[in-house]
Structure 1
């Protein structure tokens, strides 16, 4: 037998989800401002590295909007067509954001190579001041977004945070390249373009790393072993549970779904088994592990199977 009912989210949980989904909008506003500043400074300061940085910021805007959309869809309540909810939309948004990072890296690399082959003037020293501002702002934004993402266990927000950090890294590379060009003088004009090319490698690495992380959620990869151990411990402490056999956990959005097989006294009545299963389900949902629901399968206790 099993104990399973429609999923219901508390009002506080829904409010928290909507608050989390507003985080990418802050990133959109910041990136839009920085993109304009960097592109204009790059054009007037003769620095393609800074222009490339501005282009990467526009990619960040698209990425943050995708993450925002995914998070908003993910909090949609479950219904008959989607009984497990829309949590996977968050992981899909993370995948799109990761692909956006890779696309931005490829685009910047292509343009950087073109600029290296094209003679141009030395960048202006004022571009260094712009880059210092950009690095500080983007790193603060990355840390804040990452902190919220870790607290909510949101892969989409963590992907967005890495997108911000990739922008900060590319800005650091641009700063170094422009500084080399200014100090070296004639003959070192392409230094900032080479810096943009180096930054592409870092950005591409972060994109591949995030693609791996977000894909795990879509493919229902098991959570850390510690989570399963906690679930087994909680279920095993319920009166009437003599053993915990199987335990499968998958992640959907920021929530977990548990399938657990418990063993009870083989002479217990159907009603007793149902009550024990219900107690296990209730305890798991209240355990603070972000378990949205638990499917509890009740079996007769077997010493042989439990060893």
Structure 2
């Protein structure tokens, strides 16, 4: 499957998640206001954050495929990681911080209730949300399984993380609401809100760390680097591979820079032919190696000074 087809599937997955989150966010907000449930309001904030993040991911899919130009000669592949970083910040600020606020506010109020009104509606809303979020998660996981390298797509990975977190968050909110109903103690719901906040902060940290690594400049997969190094070492014209550097420029774009010493006695015309052949073979064998640069020097004569 080529990059455009993969992006089309990912865009559909993100749109499905966005539609589900918009409906769920509205339902959770109404249910949370009717019941006064801090756990349900925390989940509403979580769904709002996810909805905003999916807009970021749609922007990432569109902008990252723009062709290279004079200002960005290596293309716009890293746009995916930038927008994924913004999504991580959104999860932390809109989801995690609001959940902490709701939890601490509920603890501060010291409310004791035996049967909070409107909780039946809130639990029903969470039940529907669990089905919707679970369906979106299954779709995303199936796409990861079907697409080779799908787990490396930051947009798809973010959707999986958001949906998985949403499923766990809904379960925590339901548990907190049920325990509040049974015991009449709001501490259970406050604890659920704090737990949801901790979960969101952890997910935001993991997603943000991955995006940071890619934006700084992460090396290509070890298997690709090892394959190229072994290929260079098998070439009869190459005496030694002094260094090999790789950097991921996008989802399916890698920069390769190698410094090699050629065997003694190769003239300048042969050096040019060898360079062209090596670059073409690398491009053909590893299509993601879009940019290949060779720093070639002639090795000194064996036994020479």
Q: Shared fold by TM > 0.5?
A: yes
Change (3 A) 1:21 1:75: farther
**Residue 227 in 1 paired to residue 224 in 2?**
yes
**Residue 195 in 1 paired to residue 192 in 2?**
yes
> Counterpart of 2:277?
279
**Residue 107 in 1 paired to residue 106 in 2?**
no
**Pick aligned residue for 1:20 from 1, 6, 10:** 10
Contact 1:67–1:94 (CA under 8 A) maintained in structure 2: yes
Structure 1 SS opposite 2:248? strand
Contact 2:81–2:214 (CA under 8 A) maintained in structure 1: yes
How many Å separate the matches in 1 of 2:10 and 2:277?
31
Change (3 A) 1:143 1:289: farther
> Counterpart of 1:214?
211
Query: Could you tell me how far 1:150 is from its partner in structure 2?
Result: 4.5
Contact 2:103–2:193 (CA under 8 A) maintained in structure 1: yes
Structure 2 SS opposite 1:291? coil
Structure 1 SS opposite 2:238? coil
Structure 1 residues 128-185: Cα deviation after superposition (integer angstroms, max 9, x where no partner): 343244234324423543526952622243133212222222212101111211222x
Alignment of 1:176-187 (within 5 A): 176-184=175-183, 186=184
Change (3 A) 1:210 1:299: same
Query: Could you tell me how far 1:37 is from its partner in structure 2?
Result: 2.2
Structure 2 SS opposite 1:257? strand
> Counterpart of 2:262?
264
Change (3 A) 1:208 1:227: same
> Counterpart of 1:58?
48
**Pick aligned residue for 1:95 from 67, 71, 85:** 85
After superposition, the CA RMSD in angstroms is 2.7
Give the alignment's TM-score, normalised by structure 2: 0.84
Structure 1 residues 209-244: Cα deviation after superposition (integer angstroms, max 9, x where no partner): 111111001111224433321221233344533432
> Counterpart of 2:57?
67
> Counterpart of 2:165?
166
**Pick aligned residue for 1:47 from 37, 43, 53:** 37
**Pick aligned residue for 2:132 from 124, 137, 146:** 137
**Residue 85 in 1 paired to residue 75 in 2?**
yes
Query: Could you tell me how far 1:86 is from its partner in structure 2?
Result: 0.7
> Counterpart of 1:5?
none
Change (3 A) 1:17 1:126: closer
Structure 1 residues 12-38: Cα deviation after superposition (integer angstroms, max 9, x where no partner): 444444543443222211211221222
> Counterpart of 1:35?
25
Structure 1 SS opposite 2:47? helix
Structure 2 SS opposite 1:286? helix
> Counterpart of 1:154?
153
Contact 1:181–1:190 (CA under 8 A) maintained in structure 2: yes
Structure 2 SS opposite 1:117? helix
Change (3 A) 1:14 1:243: farther
Structure 1 SS opposite 2:277? helix
Stretches of structure 2 lacking an aligned partner (at least 5 in a row): none
How many Å separate the matches in 2 of 1:139 and 1:13?
27
Structure 1 residues 76-127: Cα deviation after superposition (integer angstroms, max 9, x where no partner): 0111221100111111111111111111201221123223333366262453
